[in-house]
Amino acid sequence: MSRLDLGLLIGRLFTGYWFLSAALIKIVQRNFLFSDALLSSLNLFLAGPGPNWYKVFLSDVVIPNLRLFAWLDAAAELSVGIGLLLGLWTRASCLVALFLVLNYLSAKGFANPQAGLDKVFIALILLLYLGHAGRVLGVDGWRSRRAAGG
């Protein structure tokens, strides 16, 4: 295994763990899915420095459908986490992860210091996507080798 492969593997496993743990916290504690915990976060985002077009989306689309978006967020984080940890459909998982993180970044505002981790995750997710990280000790690599006959 090359150093590049090792770096992709570590990045993929770390990112997968981060998304999986975020999803499990939301699912196990149930306060995110069945209470107004998400609403209080959204209200903070509405009062924060995020772009106005995203605030309109949050207030007109997300808040009226709060439970649906809570479940969609948890399900998307869960699927990304599992996909990245297994190296299964890694590029699709990266695209979903990128969509999620761009939404988190839009909610916080790009210039917000609290959005620093989101910016790092965007770079990491793009590296995983472009580097075909699932082919390194992942199901994607196994399927690729199997399809090639070896």
DSSP 149: T
pLDDT tens for 84-115 read 999 999 999 999 999 999 999 999 988 887 78
- Determine the average pLDDT of the residues in 50-60: 96
Domain extent at residue 43:
3-147
* 36 three-class SS: coil
- Report pTM: 0.92
Supply φ then ψ for residue 88, to 5 degrees. Answer: -110, 120
HEC letters along 77-136: HHHHHHHHHHCCCHHHHHHHHHHHHHHHHHHHCCCCHHHHHHHHHHHHHHHHHHCCHHHC
35 versus 74: the higher-pLDDT residue is: 74
Q: How many domains does the chain have?
A: 1
